[in-house]
Amino acid sequence: MQITLLCTSPEHPVNAWLARWQAQHQRDHDIALCRDKGELPGGEVLFLVSCSQLIDAATRARYRHTLVLHASDLPHGRGWSPHIWALLEGAEAITLSLLDAEDGVDTGAIWAKRTFPVPAHALHDEIHRLLFDTELALMDEALTLIEAGAEPVPQPEHITPTYYRKRTPADSEIDPSLPLRDLFPAIRVMDPQRYPAFFRLHGHTYTIELKKVTHHDDD
């Protein structure tokens, strides 16, 4: 197959996983990694992974399948950064949906879903690892389903969709007057390199980075 991966951010941590998936499948498929929809070569499958661009119908028509990886149990959680919002709401597991790209954001038919638990102690890098590993597994499943001639299932109309707005830098601000136990659920999901948690105090702004420390008992 001629497969394209479109990830519009070179800094996104998922890129290491995409490079690994590309290397694993390059022997059997012709795989290109692109940063902009203007670079898309066309082919059988286009995967949109952490893609911030809207892919119009004319562009999608250059592929047999244009597939989106979206971290919510659709039709719940359409929109931006769904797994972050869900974890902030107290979710203990995240469902990842593989769906057709359509003009309506996150409205396409569903090919497959996978759910993975997120421990309450997991930090942003551990959450990324769980999410990206599941994304690669769904990409593998997508190729298997396509080769088998499977068809996706439309999203149920009897379920009212929910939507998340796009996160802004202001959403990473925390209240320093609150106990750390109360702040931890918010701080842990924030990427300290790209979207650090921060607070204002004494006329200055401070960022926070959490690191998990493992203690080893002396022999």
Domain at 2-164, CATH class? alpha beta
- Among 14-23, 96-105, 185-194, which stretch is predicted with the lowest mean pLDDT? 185-194
Q: pLDDT of 76-127, one tens digit each? A: 999 999 999 999 999 999 999 999 999 999 999 999 999 999 999 999 999 9
Lookup result for tokens 């990427």: 191
Taking residues 164-190, what's their average pLDDT?
Answer: 95
Task: Please report the pLDDT score of residue 177 as a whole number.
Answer: 97
Residue 194 pLDDT level (bands cut at 50, 70, 90): confident
- Report how far apart the first and last C-alpha atoms of the chain are (Å, whole number): 54
- Dihedral-angle region of residue 42 (phi above 0 means left; psi in -120 to 50 means alpha; beta otherwise): left
Task: Please report the pLDDT score of residue 219 as a whole number.
Answer: 47
Domain ranges (residues) in the chain:
2-164, 169-208
